Structure 1
Amino acid sequence: MRHLLLIDPIEKLNIKKDSSLMLALAMQKRGIECYVLFERDFAIHNQGMQKLRVHSFKGTLKEDQIYLASFETTGEKVIELTTNDVLHMRLDPPFDSRYLRILWMLDHLVSMGIKVMNDPRGIMNFNEKLYAYRTEGATASYVGSSLKLAQQFVQHLDPKPSALILKPMDLYSGLGVEKLSLNAWEKRFEEKVVELQGPVIVQPFIEAVAMGEIRSLYFKGKELGTILKTPKDGEFLSNIAQGATFHAEPLTPKTRAQCETIVKELMEFGVDWVAFDILGDSVQEVNITCPGLLVEVSYAHKKNLADVVIDMLD
């Protein structure tokens, strides 16, 4: 069985802590035939078996055997896909028209019996943020372009929040997320509707963010590991790239039950990779496009979790 990882350009990636590259190197170390390919290499046709240009690679890990020290491609060739191949969709969002086009093309491969992980239709079916808002105990959330309706939503929030969060539906890694006071959010809401060319998410600011945000990784219904990301003093985004610290942290029984219910449903749609973002007992996002932080969660748990994933693939 061959594994093909569709990834963003290497120069765009943070090689040191990229989940896809970590998985590729772990497969190579285990003797699994594995290649990477880029968007420019990806094409489909309706004249028989599909062919793709793929790249061999090499790389090294740091002394901790978790973080990457180097990664580079070493050659390329054209291969013909078979039903024994697994193609891993590892392109980062935003979930825009370009992203949707790739999913449509990947779905063509699925129709020919090629395994794609996560399944493109599964990714298309579930918005990472909106799906989380359907869960029991979810954060009060408004999604829309109408300021008047947003004002009514805010007016009826109970208890009254100290501030509001405005964010887009389709970005990632905290991009476009803003914290605004209750007397200054309306003008920015209208500006953001124009900037995003559509709906904006409005939520009460959750004070518990100062205590940190949970990231929990699941694969094929199994929890791989969980960490608590704590933002820098004075910050409200728990982004490790922006200085947040992290350590291993167990899920509460209530949150674990929520996550297990979600992954059970998603697996029915071919969505095996899932990463949860959790504040308190509330699931904030259900990441399924290109779940990340495999390196950081591995480091916190002192175990290369890519090997666990590979065992479950077999």
Structure 2
Amino acid sequence: MHIGFIIASWEGMEPQKSSTLAIIKECIKRGHKVSILYTTDLTVRNNVVHGLIKTIEKMDKIPESIVSFHKKVTFQKRMTALHAFDCLMIRKDPPINPLVLNFLDAIKDEVVIMNDVDGIRKANNKLYTTTFHDPNNTFLPVTHVSGSKKFINKTIDESEAEKMILKPLDASGGKGVIVLEKNAKENINSLLDFYIDEDGDKYVILQEFIEGADQGDVRVLMLNGKFIGAYNRKPAAGEIRANIQQGGTAHKYTLTESQQRICKKIGSKLVADGLYFVGVDMIGDKILEVNVLNPGGITNINRLNKLKLQREVVDFIEDKVNEKVEKRIELEYLLKRLNELRE
């Protein structure tokens, strides 16, 4: 199989932390051809979508160390039509340029794309949870999204909560997340001026502060609608954000029965939307976000539980590709029989 990965930067990867690199190495170990490409390398040649891809050259011996593997990989560059891939994984932090998805629209019927292009369109990381039906906020926190400073101010004034979370809609990795305290109301307008522009093109999320947030959150990895692993992210001293990029630390964690039920509840919708590999962020029994573009956590979960989750991911990729091939063969056979009957 030829498996491609749309990434931000090979050089910028942190080998011991990168879930993407763990999956790439597993693909190489199984003998698959692996290529990477950047969004800026997408192009159209004579109405066919191509990419300037970098294919990993065959290695005499695959290093056991992930650091050595990353360092010793060499590439062969060439322009290639993207329909030559069997599978493409989008592994780039949000936001993603909508034009990238337009490029991939041309090949989505021929190539397994993870996650599905239309699913990604639906699933802006912080808005997708609004599609879950939870009118009583049993597993979703009270959440407001707006580009209006007037609305946000009114909502804060009307809230009985002493603390709320404010964060930009289009950021990732915990960037811009702050705790709003009602007794510091005089600072809120200044903050909103920073977050929301005059043209109304920037949106913010105002969310209830969940008790226990100071103990961090839980990252749950889900594959094909089922959870495959989880870990607790605890914030650094003086921080509210538990993201690893913001200095958070990883700790072993076992999902509670109620958390398992919640994950099971949303699993079928994730699969229906083509969101096969996602990261769900939870505090207690509340879902904060569903990360669909570049969910991380494989390396931490592996280390804490002596697992190799990348094997499950590559197993799934192989199954999806084989399933697509079988459907194509079946369709070709039916078309052939139909033509024979017509003759």
- Verify same fold: TM over 0.5: yes
Match of 2:155 in 1: 153
Does the 8 A contact of 1:44 with 1:108 survive in 2? Answer: no
Q: Which protein has the larger Cα radius of gyration, Structure 1 or Structure 2?
A: 2
Q: 1:296 aligns with which of 295, 300, 303?
A: 300
Aligned Cα root-mean-square deviation (Å): 2.4
- Separation (CA, whole Å) in 2 of partners of 1:127 and 1:54: 27
Identity %: 28
Q: Does the residue aligned with 2:175 lie in a helix, a strand or coil? A: coil
- Separation (CA, whole Å) in 2 of partners of 1:235 and 1:33: 42
User: Post-superposition shift, 1:155?
Assistant: 3.0
Gapped runs of 5+ residues in structure 1? none
- Cα deviation, 1:183-235, whole Å, max 9, x if unaligned, reads 23232123210298422111233341122200000111222200011112221
User: Post-superposition shift, 1:257?
Assistant: 2.1
Q: 1:191 aligns with which of 173, 191, 194?
A: 194
Does the 8 A contact of 1:17 with 1:68 survive in 2? Answer: no
Alignment of 1:226-245 (within 5 A): 226-245=230-249
- Cα deviation, 1:61-93, whole Å, max 9, x if unaligned, reads 53xxxx544514332234444476111111221
- Separation (CA, whole Å) in 2 of partners of 1:11 and 1:220: 30
- Separation (CA, whole Å) in 1 of partners of 2:153 and 2:245: 34
- Cα deviation, 1:113-170, whole Å, max 9, x if unaligned, reads 2221111111001221122245433111121122332233223334x23x33211112
- Cα deviation, 1:31-59, whole Å, max 9, x if unaligned, reads 122222222332235646x5433223367
Number of equivalences: 303
Amino acid at match of 2:188: W
Amino acid at match of 2:216: G
Match of 2:328 in 1: none
- Separation (CA, whole Å) in 2 of partners of 1:53 and 1:148: 47
Q: 2:107 aligns with which of 106, 109, 122?
A: 109
Q: 1:129 aligns with which of 123, 126, 151?
A: 126
Q: Does the residue aligned with 2:16 lie in a helix, a strand or coil? A: helix
Larger helix percent: 2
Asked whether 1:209 is paired with 2:207, we answer: no
Does the 8 A contact of 2:105 with 2:117 survive in 1? Answer: yes
Does the 8 A contact of 1:166 with 1:177 survive in 2? Answer: yes
Q: Does the residue aligned with 2:311 lie in a helix, a strand or coil? A: helix
Deviates more, 1:279-288 or 1:226-235: 226-235
Give TM-score scaled by structure 2 length. 0.80
- Separation (CA, whole Å) in 1 of partners of 2:263 and 2:31: 33
Q: 1:220 aligns with which of 221, 224, 227?
A: 224
Does the 8 A contact of 1:83 with 1:115 survive in 2? Answer: no
Q: Does the residue aligned with 2:278 lie in a helix, a strand or coil? A: strand
Q: Does the residue aligned with 1:290 lie in a helix, a strand or coil? A: coil
Match of 2:52 in 1: 53
Match of 1:28 in 2: 28
- Separation (CA, whole Å) in 1 of partners of 2:268 and 2:86: 24
Does the 8 A contact of 1:22 with 1:68 survive in 2? Answer: no
User: Post-superposition shift, 1:17?
Assistant: 1.4
User: Post-superposition shift, 1:3?
Assistant: 0.8
Seen in structure 2, the aligned counterparts of structure 1 residues 11 and 27 have a Cα distance that, compared at 3 Å, is same
Deviates more, 1:211-220 or 1:193-202: 193-202
Does the 8 A contact of 1:37 with 1:55 survive in 2? Answer: yes
Match of 1:85 in 2: 86
Seen in structure 2, the aligned counterparts of structure 1 residues 73 and 156 have a Cα distance that, compared at 3 Å, is farther
Q: Does the residue aligned with 1:234 lie in a helix, a strand or coil? A: coil
Does the 8 A contact of 1:6 with 1:90 survive in 2? Answer: yes
Seen in structure 2, the aligned counterparts of structure 1 residues 107 and 263 have a Cα distance that, compared at 3 Å, is farther
Does the 8 A contact of 1:263 with 1:274 survive in 2? Answer: no
- Cα deviation, 1:212-261, whole Å, max 9, x if unaligned, reads 20000011122220001111222101022333222221222222222223
- Separation (CA, whole Å) in 1 of partners of 2:127 and 2:276: 19
Does the 8 A contact of 1:214 with 1:229 survive in 2? Answer: yes
User: Post-superposition shift, 1:60?
Assistant: 4.2
Q: Does the residue aligned with 1:15 lie in a helix, a strand or coil? A: coil
Seen in structure 2, the aligned counterparts of structure 1 residues 80 and 193 have a Cα distance that, compared at 3 Å, is closer
- Separation (CA, whole Å) in 1 of partners of 2:224 and 2:104: 20
- Separation (CA, whole Å) in 2 of partners of 1:249 and 1:131: 25
